[in-house]
Amino acid sequence: MSPLHLTRLVTRVAVVCASLALAAVGLTAATAAAAGTATPNVTGVTGTPITIGATVPLTGIASPGYNEVAKAAAAVFNWVNNHGKVNGRKILYDLVDDCYGTPGFGCKGNPDVHADTVTLVTKDHVFATVGSLGTPTQAPERAYLKSVDTPQLMVNSGSIDWNCVGGSGTPSSDCNGTTYPGLTGWQPSYTTESKILAKYIKANYAGKKVCFLGQSDDFGHNGYLGLTYGGIHPVVTRFYSVDALVVSGAASITPYIESFQSAGCSVVYLDTIPGATAAALGNAEALSYKPQWVISSVGSDPTTVATELGSTPDSEPGAISFAYLATTNGFTDPWISWTYKVLEAAPGLFPGFKSTSVLNGNEAYGVAWGVAFVEALRAAGRNFTQASFLHILTTMKFETPAITPLQYSATNHQGLIAGFVDKIKSKTATEPAPGKDGNKTVWVTKSTSASPVTSTTVLSLTVPSWLK
């Protein structure tokens, strides 16, 4: 595949009306300041709006499905802006297409993630980056954002590297001895997720050979760590390169699937982005290899994977995965209907979305963390400082579309620590996994080896009245 000619695409999602579409514009410091004069000492906060931003893969290798996440959060901000604002302020959301830091695969943005991040800080003057996506793209930005005193909030990745708080709260992660008080994740860590899935594998596939394929960064390595914490030790472990996937496509995954088949693995665990998931499934189909797939939530969304597979037969139905959102099939609650209303109210972001549309996991994910940010902003009050906002963020309990309450603390900047095991039912649906430790049981654990996996009955299934 020859690299495409790249142009920088900066997308400002100024969520001020329900019909606003993503527009490719050159955003400058002047346009960012046009809405009002910044509140002294609080960058990005004016009398009328608060400006936040993110770098996300709107195009390129990781864009399938993932390009809907930040747009879904923007739809939440849109909804709030049109239903009373937040303490009198609108939320302006600046999105930059970073192509997951990788050229090719239809990339139209700028694969230089650091340059994009610098632009958000120095030209767009954001209060914080919120919802930027990806471990390989966001981990290198921690030091810079800390140096310019800009919070890096709700990173869309399950890396344990977002929990660099120091002391006993920090798991075995690549914090390099540095603490980042303004850094938080949001979703359960890859380690937490794979620990819970390890419990399910041990209970339902005892004695079966397990093979593992993960991405060659913290996504794959954290997931593998959690499996070993849970007592699963794959007989064959392989890590794929995103760059190789860009250059060679599904062929780059072929040797790994062949090695799993040769080893006689009847269970294959995937810590893969959707494109790599489809490549693994497609290779197995070509080899007539039919293991029990266990796929992390990052790369298992059935609608996204089916799209990636194209004309290749879809062997994902029956795969085991993990979920932490109440909008996943199997849990009926008010968040589902509310999410539909929010996405239907943003036709510029989700054209054609209606009450009969399939709500996929990426849309649900973006809505959920969008709600969390709005809740924190509302709780911070009209007049806040960066320090007071971060204090609120790490002391309040959130009501979001997540299965269990979200609560950061001085020792937990990761975010959610619970979820349930589910099964891919079809190209559009999931359901709670059958068998022992499935059946809608919600499990809780932290990312450390010593933390046990325990069940909980504490659920978060209420839409706050002010959001309705």
For residues 73 and 197, membership in a common domain is answered with: no
pLDDT band at 79 (very low <50, low <70, confident <90, very high): very high
Indicate if the pLDDT at residue 5 is higher than 80.
no
| Whether pLDDT at 237 is above 60 | yes
pLDDT value for 46: 82
CATH number of the domain residue 299 falls in: 3.40.50.2300
The answer as to whether 334 is a domain residue is no
3-state secondary structure the chain: CCCCCCCCCEEEECCCCCCCCCCECCCCHHHHHCCCCECCCCCCEECCEEEEEEEECCCCCCHHHHCCHHHHHHHHHHHHHCCCCECCEEEEEEEEECHHHCCCCCCCCCCCHHHHHHHHHHCCCCCCEECCECHHHHHHHHHHHHHCCCCEECCECCCHHHCCCCHHHCCCCCCCCCCCCCECCCCCCHHHHHHHHHHHHHHHCCCCCEEEEEECCHHHHHHHHHHHHCCCCCCEEEEECHHHHHHHHHHHCHHHHHHHHHHCCCEEEEECCHHHHHHHHHHHHHCCCCCEEEECHHHCCHHHHHHHHCCCCCCCCCCEEEECECCCCCCCCHHHHHHHHHHHCCCCCCCCCCCCCCCCHHHHHHHHHHHHHHHHHHHHCCCCCHHHHHHHHCCCCECCCECCCECCCCCCCCCCCEEEEEEECCCCCEEECCCCCCCCCEEECCCCCCCCCEEECCCCCCCCHHHC
Position 268 in a domain: yes
pLDDT band at 173 (very low <50, low <70, confident <90, very high): low
Q: Are 20 and 117 in contact (CB under 8 A)?
A: no
Mean pLDDT over residues 59-76, rounded? 94
The share of the chain scoring above pLDDT 70, in percent, equals: 88
Cα three-residue angle 239-68-197, rounded to 5 degrees = 45
Q: Looking at 12-16, 217-221, 248-252, 373-377, which range is the least confident one?
A: 12-16
Among 2-11, 57-66, 340-349, 429-438, the range scoring the smallest mean pLDDT is 2-11
Cα gap 298→302, rounded to integer Å: 11
List all residues 6 or more positions away from 310 whose beta carbon is below 8 Å from its beta carbon: none
Same domain as 194, residue 183: no
Going by C-alpha positions, the residue among 161, 293, 305 that lies closest to residue 225 is 161
Question: Picking from 155-169, 257-271, 390-404, 414-428, which range would have the lowest pLDDT averaged per residue?
Answer: 155-169
Query: Do 65 and 104 share a domain, yes or no?
Result: yes
How far apart (Å, rounded) are the C-alpha atoms in residues 429 and 17? Answer: 31
**Residue 212 belongs to some domain of the structure:** yes
The region of weakest confidence among 6-15, 245-254, 271-280 is: 6-15
Please check whether residue 396 is in contact with residue 388, taking contact to mean a CB–CB distance below 8 angstroms: no
Assess if residue 39 is contained within a domain: yes
Answer yes or no: do 183 and 199 share one domain: no
124-165 pLDDT per residue, tens: 999 999 999 998 899 999 999 999 999 999 999 999 889 988
Q: Is the pLDDT of residue 176 over 50?
A: yes
pLDDT digits (tens, 9 = 90+) for 253-300: 999 999 999 999 999 999 999 999 999 999 999 999 999 999 999 999
Task: Tell whether the model's pLDDT for residue 169 goes beyond 70.
Answer: no
pLDDT 10s digits, 93-124: 999 999 999 998 899 999 999 999 999 999 99
Nearest CA to 222 out of 194, 244, 250, 197 is that of 194
Residues 178 and 218 in one domain: no
Q: What is the pLDDT of residue 167?
A: 60
CB atoms within 10 A of CB 164: 22
Do 171 and 234 share a domain, yes or no? no
Please tell me the least confidently modeled range out of 29-33, 87-91, 126-130. 29-33
pLDDT at 328 over 60: no
Residues recorded for the chain = 468
Together in a domain, 436 and 453:
yes
Q: Is residue 332 part of a domain?
A: no
Residue 202 has pLDDT above 50, yes or no: yes
pLDDT > 90: percent of the chain: 74
Claim to verify: residue 95 and residue 238 sit in the same structural domain:
no
Please state the rounded mean pLDDT for residues 42-53.
89
In a domain, 454, yes or no: yes
Verify that 16 and 105 share a domain, yes or no: yes
- Identify the domain containing residue 21 by its residue range: 10-187+359-393
Q: What is the pLDDT of residues 366-375, one digit of tens each?
A: 999 999 999 9
For residues 30 and 78, state if they share a domain.
yes
Instruction: Tell me: do 245 and 270 sit in the same domain.
Output: yes
93 lies in a domain? yes
Mean of the pLDDT values across residues 67-77? 97
| Mean pLDDT score across all residues of the chain | 88
For residue 189, the tally of other CB atoms under 10 A from its CB is 30
Confidence of residue 248 (pLDDT cuts 50, 70, 90): very high
Instruction: Tell which residue, 181, 184, 182, 177, has the closest CA to residue 155.
Output: 184
pLDDT bracket for residue 201 (50, 70, 90):
very high
User: Domain count of the chain?
Assistant: 2
Q: Please indicate, yes or no, whether residues 111 and 219 belong to a single structural domain of this protein.
A: no
Q: Are 153 and 50 in contact (CB under 8 A)?
A: no
Q: What is the dihedral of CA 333, 335, 336, 339, to 10 degrees?
A: 170
Task: Establish if 443 belongs to a structural domain.
Answer: yes
Q: pTM of the full predicted structure? A: 0.85
